[in-house]
Structure 1
Amino acid sequence: MQRPEAGKPLIKFNHCKKYIYSFSMPQCCPLCGQVTGSRKLEEAPVSISDPFTNGHQEKCSFLLRPTQGTFLREYDGRSDLHVGITNTNGIVYNYTTCGVQRDEVGWEQSVSIPLLQPGMFGLMDQWDKYLEDFSATEAWLPQRYEDDHHNCYSYTLTFINCVLTAEGKEQLGKREFTEKYVVPRTRKASKYITLYRAIEERGFYVTDRPDEETNPPEGSGSC
């Protein structure tokens, strides 16, 4: 399987009283054409946090990616998504029409949600055995797969609830888990995708600075 192309890093800098986003710091401002080599701290470029991660480098995590293609290239906001659970070696266990798969590649651009709190070494030591034993049950045979009711999401959430039970915690319903953990990350990812593609198309992207939106210029007043 071909590894997905890694996204380029994004930066943000201030110029012309605007926020300007790009893949790298340009020599000249794309708005006014002036040299951008300012010594002002507030105009220095800052990196934009990438919401995607190489899932194979994540331990004991819930992963989310498009069923086909990648987030930055093919995903259109309506495409089907696929989910899985990593073991302690970054192998992604996921349920499909072929049964439980154990992927060593293919999840290099994923949204990741850690499932263990720091310091839970006892549970981490048992994680791989729990995941393997869970995946070997008849519930996840290929013929049991149903697109709407017994799918990859059912598999991951059922395992997560088994872990919560082992921790003595309350189980989570699909809606609760999705709204609490998945939606905040997918919203952030959606904004990042929009920004990334706009920069790819135009070379940069411009927004108003919050202080410019909320604070009127000095000397201005209402009529």
Structure 2
Amino acid sequence: MYRDHVEPRTMESVLSLVKFTHCKKDIYSSFVPQQCPICGGNTVSSWDVAQAPVSIPCPFSNAHNEKCCFVLKPTQGHFIGEYDGCSDLHVGIASSKGIVYHYNETGIHKDSTGWEQCVSIPLVPPDQYALIYQWDSYLEEISPAEKWLSYRYDEQDHNCYTFALTFINSLLHLQGKKTFSKDEFTARYVLPKTRRASKYITLCHEVSKNGFYITDYFRDFR
């Protein structure tokens, strides 16, 4: 379910994670310790290339630094430290200047702040200048439409996702391309990103609570 949004939180609050291997286990942490948390041995001395530390890419970004994206975040709170994996999400469309257009029970909003920690799905290649210009122009064109007035809002059937997908499909139609149903767009673009984000949230939670998160070797984080 997709609903309204709340106060900003910057990317600085997102925990940075690394993974290294020791004792035939993959170990996640916010830093590389001198001693293995399993055996107490020196972690560095036994590393080969496959076991050396690697940074885990953060799945979240600041929408206001992005261009022409579909963006989503929790309706209440933030992904890191607060999201339970089941609560409502709120979605919007980022312009080429990082302004997020979104729709809720009070109508259309254009935010220059408030989307600093979100999942971002780029939809326009950076070299498509004509489409980027069209993207912004069309955002301005459809936003004042009567169908996006506050009284038309319905939590289940006419919400923020309706606005975002209507915009995307309108641009696809203008280009003579196939449009998406909500299920199609979600399966192709949203679910791969949110699954990765969910794994990252789990890792952050465990590392914050215990200092480390240990899994069987070769259980890759992807």
**Scaled by the length of structure 2, what TM-score is found?**
0.91
* Pairing 1:90–2:98 present: yes
Q: 1:34 maps to what in 2?
A: 41
Where relative contact order (Cα < 8 A, 6+ residues apart) is larger, the structure is 2
1:207 Cα deviation after fit: 0.8
Secondary structure of the residue aligned to 2:147 is helix
Q: 1:105 maps to what in 2?
A: 113
Contact 2:9 2:78 in 1 (8 A): no
Contact 1:3 1:105 in 2 (8 A): no
Q: 1:220 maps to what in 2?
A: none
Secondary structure of the residue aligned to 2:82 is coil
Amino acid paired to 2:37 = P
**Scaled by the length of structure 1, what TM-score is found?**
0.90
Q: Which structure 2 residue ranges, 5 or more long, are not aligned? A: 1-6
Aligned length: 211
Q: Distance in 1 between matches of 2:13 and 2:113?
A: 14
Contact 1:12 1:22 in 2 (8 A): yes
Residues 22-70 of structure 1, C-alpha deviation per residue, up to 9 Å, x if partnerless? 0011111111111222353233210011111111111000001000111
Q: 1:214 maps to what in 2?
A: none
Secondary structure of the residue aligned to 2:13 is coil
Partner of residue 199 from structure 1, selected from 186, 196, 207: 207
1:1-223 correspondence to structure 2 within 5 Å: 1-4=7-10, 6-38=13-45, 40-210=48-218
Contact 1:96 1:152 in 2 (8 A): yes
Residues 51-107 of structure 1, C-alpha deviation per residue, up to 9 Å, x if partnerless? 111111110000010001111121111111000000111010000111111111111
Q: Distance in 2 between matches of 1:170 and 1:28?
A: 55
Q: Which structure 1 residue ranges, 5 or more long, are not aligned? A: 212-223
Q: 1:49 to 1:198 in 2, by over 3 A?
A: same
CA RMSD of aligned residues (A): 1.4
- Higher radius of gyration, 1 or 2: 1
Identical residues among aligned pairs (%): 54
